[in-house]
Amino acid sequence: MKIKLLAGLTLPTVIFASSVAFSATISLVGTELKLDGITQATPTSPTATFAATVSAIVSETAVEYPNVNDFGITNTSVPGFPLPMTTVPVAIDAGADFITIDFDNTAPFSQFTPAFQNTYVFTFADTVAPLITSAEIDTTVTTLGLAPEDITFSGNKLFANVESLYFDTSSFVRINLTAEAGVAPVPLPTGLPLMLSGLLGMRLFVGRKQKAF
């Protein structure tokens, strides 16, 4: 009887699931974040960027860029005149999975320069960039008039185009970074391959024995 039961076993009855769904997480903390900028008057005009990319290590407690004006760009505009993003004294902070732009110290200025591009560019470290699948405006706290199409994530860069937008000291931006869920392999239980081999061998043996009779 035992032999007959064993002979009736099929491998699918003892195979275990070998994968499981998981939610990927992102953490920029401890990685390098580079800040640059692009200005372009029209789609066909030349682009201008910062004289040099500015880097910072993302911290859980410190603000990475307390004042974008610290890049050394002199602001000669009259108060209230439209400005390129490089001269607006915003504070830019990064967390594990977000970037914020704070306008607390921007008075008396009130508008970014109208252009085809007046864009903040954030470059993520190679260790974390592949985990990021999208970047979206957090509409629950963002008060600057950004539209979804103003935010673009491509490769290892995040682009935030603020051209012509009005702001005041209460304006705020938060961009959330997300990772897509995936499937991770799960190791088979210890000894399972040996057990399967044994069952298969015994089944083959029983099959031969039955044929012999």
pLDDT confidence of 38, banded at 50, 70, 90?
confident
Question: What pLDDT is attached to residue 94?
Answer: 97
Question: What pLDDT is attached to residue 69?
Answer: 78
pTM of the model: 0.71
pLDDT exceeds 80 at position 8? no
205: left (phi over 0), alpha (psi -120 to 50) or beta: alpha
Question: What pLDDT is attached to residue 181?
Answer: 59
pLDDT exceeds 70 at position 165? yes
Sign of CA pseudo-dihedral 193, 198, 204, 206: negative
Q: Are 49 and 120 in contact (CB under 8 A)?
A: no
Mean pLDDT in residue range 75-92: 69
pLDDT confidence of 190, banded at 50, 70, 90?
low
Which of 20-29, 54-63, 169-178, 187-196 shows the lowest per-residue confidence on average (mean pLDDT)?
187-196
Cα gap 114→164, rounded to integer Å = 4
Q: Which helix (H) or strand (E) holds 195?
A: helix 192-212
